[in-house]
Structure 1
Amino acid sequence: MEHVKRWRRLNGKTINTPIEEEINRTLSLEYEMGHTVSVCIGTDSQVKGRVTEFATVIVFIRKGKGGFMYILNDSTTRKMSVKERMLVEVGKSIEVAYPLCHIFSRYNVHMEVHADINTNPNFKSNDALKEAMGYIMGMGFTFRAKPHAFASTSCANKIVH
């Protein structure tokens, strides 16, 4: 039996409709209220014993009026190297971003994919930088890495259990 992925808001409210419907509804409301929004999508992970836990976030930033986010938690028991885990994080972000990009285009919303990968070569995550950048940019998305990848390094980082 396949595990059903449940999105939620930061306040814990579960999203019971497909995320595409929720994002479309949200952007429609934001547009009606006259807000200019941009979106950042990112994933972070944490290894806890034999389990790797992931948190993917869709962060909405209202120009001059704060923001909010949607959250998806996931986990695996598959053992991975740091590089592989970084690329899995990027894959999870793209898996979320790709089916939403036509909705963002419809509302003229700028969207970025944030990777929790350090640009400093002294960090292990840097081994995945070139592949992650190529993957994200090859999909036509704007790429951000540390220290500019707040969706993954700050938002998702706080959510991963």
Structure 2
Amino acid sequence: MKFFNSVQKNMSFADVVASIRYFIKMNPDCKYRLAVGTDSQTKGKFTCFATGIYIHREGSGAWGCISKRIQNRRYISLREKISKETQLTYEFANMLNTELMSSLYDFVARYENFDCRLEAHIDVGTKGETRRLIREMVGYFEGMGIDTKIKPEAFVASSYANRHSRDVRVS
């Protein structure tokens, strides 16, 4: 899987983790929100899933990247499409939890104000057809202890990833 943003292309997951660590290291005495979210769009017989990883230094900047997967399949069922988006978000959140979060304990010990929360942003909300899926999709993350956000707070899925899911070409 490859990641990209407006400046960097063809990043590996290890590159993403290194970029996040570097971003935190530049100003470690702050609070951070590390969020993952997926959105998808179906065009013709293809479905494009875009997963965003976004780290926000509260009050002072952010860094993010996208990974796209194109499937030669048209998702017709809303439940199936949202389930796939949530599954991808879960996979990336689990990878970040494994590869990154444990290495941040050094910052906790050394910096009084350091805090980094991992969030899953799910593209469901209390309005519209997806409201019936909230409990089921949020349940994916309860066992992991990851904060889960839904619309309108789920900006990584509903805004950041959404911008990139519209184009079925892999960047």
| TM class by smaller structure | 0.7 to 0.9
TM-superposed deviation, 1:45: 0.4
1:55-94 aligned at under 5 Å gives the runs: 55-80=50-75, 81-94=77-90
Question: Partners in 1 of 2:153 and 2:54 — Cα distance?
Answer: 14
Matched, 1:104 2:101: yes
Question: Partners in 2 of 1:28 and 1:152 — Cα distance?
Answer: 22
Q: Quick check: 1:10–1:71 contact (8 Å CA) kept in 2?
A: no
TM-superposed deviation, 1:140: 2.2
SS of 1:8's equivalent in the other structure is coil
Question: Partners in 1 of 2:97 and 2:161 — Cα distance?
Answer: 20
Query: Quick one: which of 9, 12, 18 aligns to 2:5?
Result: 9
Q: Quick check: 2:42–2:74 contact (8 Å CA) kept in 1?
A: no
Q: What's the counterpart of residue 32 of structure 1?
A: 25
- 1:74-113 deviation digits (Å, cap 9, x = unpaired): 1213343011100100100111110211312431521100
- State how many pairs are aligned: 152
Matched, 1:144 2:149: yes
Question: Partners in 1 of 2:70 and 2:88 — Cα distance?
Answer: 12
1:44-55 aligned at under 5 Å gives the runs: 44-55=39-50
Question: Partners in 2 of 1:158 and 1:31 — Cα distance?
Answer: 25
Q: What's the counterpart of residue 125 of structure 2?
A: 118
Question: Partners in 2 of 1:95 and 1:27 — Cα distance?
Answer: 18
- RMSD, aligned α-carbons: 1.7
- 1:21-67 deviation digits (Å, cap 9, x = unpaired): 22442243233322433211000001112111110010011122221
Unaligned runs of 5+ in 1: none
TM-score (norm 2): 0.81
